[in-house]
Chain A
Amino acid sequence: MLSVEKLSKEFIIHTRRGIRIPGFANVSFEVTAGSLLAVTGPSGIGKSSLLKCIYRTYLPTEGRILYEAQNGETVDLAAAGDWEVLALRRSEIGYVSQFFHVMPRVSMMDILTEPLTARGLEKEEARERAARMLSRAGLGQTLWEMYPATFSGGEKQRLNILRAIITKPRFLLLDEPTASLDSGYKSRIMDMILELKGEGTAMIGVFHDRDALAVLSDARYDFEGQQPLGGVTGALGECIR
């Protein structure tokens, strides 16, 4: 579904006499429907930058990101126009950021129902789907109408993930989605991610914890090895050095 070819990112800082800061270089891999590719490597090596290039929050410097869209057409996300990228984000590409930016004064329920109603779902149906997911993720009814600005890190992060998966994106980028979750909630969230993958969503993930990596990933791109490593779902030994 996604094929990354010789992708590189370099930042040019004009405000510091044009110095160049390397992001990552020459990355190639493929991701197929219904599988998760884990991106691994030490901190600072370029994992988040890679995800941001694919989502086009960063502009790649070189290479191609060939994405096979729902309508069968192949789009190079590295070169596509802004409107095309925005349309794909709205309809089929999701992203869970490492840090959650909350909107002030939008309730938890509205944060989840908004992307659904924007896709044409009835308000009632959207609320029902959101309610089911919130309960599964252990976010109780008392929180639903509250503004998340005051929530704990773990609560915000669960909401962040729900917001990305509630629309069932075809392609999902996950940057440390389970980082601030304690183990009980972590397994619930991982179940939901596995379920989505089972429905055919292709995923790229960065995980700092080995459990999540082992349970969720099917293949791996290791920044130090600089080559994609095949793996077997859930097989701990295959996925961790």
Chain B
Amino acid sequence: MDPVGEERFALRLEHLTVRYGDGCALCLAERAQAARARQSGNRCPRCGTVWAARDVSLKVREGEILGVVGESGSGKSTLTQALYLDIDPAGGAYYLSSYERGERDVFTVSPQQRKYVRGQLLGMVYQNPHLGLRMRFSASANVAEKLLAAGSRHVGFMMERTNALLAHMEVPVSRVKEPPRYFSGGMQQRVQIAKAVANNPPVLLLDEVTTGLDLSVQARVLDLVKSVQRDFGVTMIVVSHDLAVVRMLADRTVVMLNGQIVEEGITDQIMEDPQHVYTQTLVNSLLL
């Protein structure tokens, strides 16, 4: 039942490694399990190289929401940035079902193709709105820019689509001409989400989308994310240090520690019956 054909994966990441530093004989030779067992963080004790992601593999089904949790510094943003092709990994392969039928490693494509993948096949909501938005352009210009980059040239269509997207994300019509720097954090995230889904990408990446927002604003942004998944049918990777966020959104969850995945499972199983000592600690801290 439920064929596990590769074509049903929206995204496949194999053995992603990102490091800051050149590595040395000790850490380059070290296997992932050994590094995990060492339990002394992600920094090589001899050469100081930081292994921000080490041997990270993921499969995400079409339409699925995958949660990624872990404390600050565990490699979550590194992972999302690698998936959005923001950084060059030291190793690994990455396949998208929407690109060459999932047969071509997206990490190795030409700069031009990379631009196409980022513009059309992926959407990204950054933890820091300054990375995702041009703060001095209007909200609608931010969204229109994305459409323009995808080759849209019809001004009427662009205006209409831009306004519809911002309205969908509950950015008041009266404010779409204002630059996001005047917006609250929650409103900035709404503009980022509108921009991220503008070209109907099959995969949407969200890094700490609610972090730093007031609790009541958080709840509304989470509702919005859920409705975006429903209305756009998009596959999502939701990254958060906050288990509660992932619990509310994700079908499955992976737990990161020191740049590696230590546990993965159905979200309610991760929350209610965590197997790894680190996940148990995380869940306990949530219950306190």
Residues of A within 8 A of B (CB): 11-15, 52, 56-59, 69, 71, 73, 75, 81-87, 103-106, 114
Contact = CB atoms under 8 A, between A and B. Distances in A.
Given A57-B269, A87-B2, A13 B280 contact: yes
Interface of B: 1-2, 4, 61, 219-220, 222-223, 226, 230, 248, 251-252, 264-266, 268-269, 272-273, 275-277, 280-281, 284
B241 to A, nearest CB: 19
Contacts of B252: 82-83, 86
B281 A84 contact: no
B170 to A, nearest CB: 12
B273 A58 contact: yes
Contacts of A12: 275
A87 B61 CA distance: 11
Nearest to A12: B275
B266 A56 contact: yes
Contacts of A86: 251-252, 266
Contacts of A105: 219-220, 223
Contacts of A71: 1
Contact of B2 (A84, A103, A114): A84
Contacts of A81: 4
B219 A85 contact: no
A57 B272 contact: yes
Nearest to A86: B251
B255 to A, nearest CB: 13
Given A58-B269, A83-B4, 19 more contacts: A13-B280, A14-B276, A52-B273, A58-B273, A59-B269, A59-B273, A82-B264, A84-B1, A84-B2, A85-B266, A86-B266, A87-B1, A103-B223, A104-B219, A104-B222, A105-B220, A105-B223, A106-B223, A114-B230
11 contacts: A14-B276, A57-B266, A57-B269, A58-B269, A58-B273, A59-B269, A69-B1, A82-B266, A84-B2, A103-B226, A105-B223
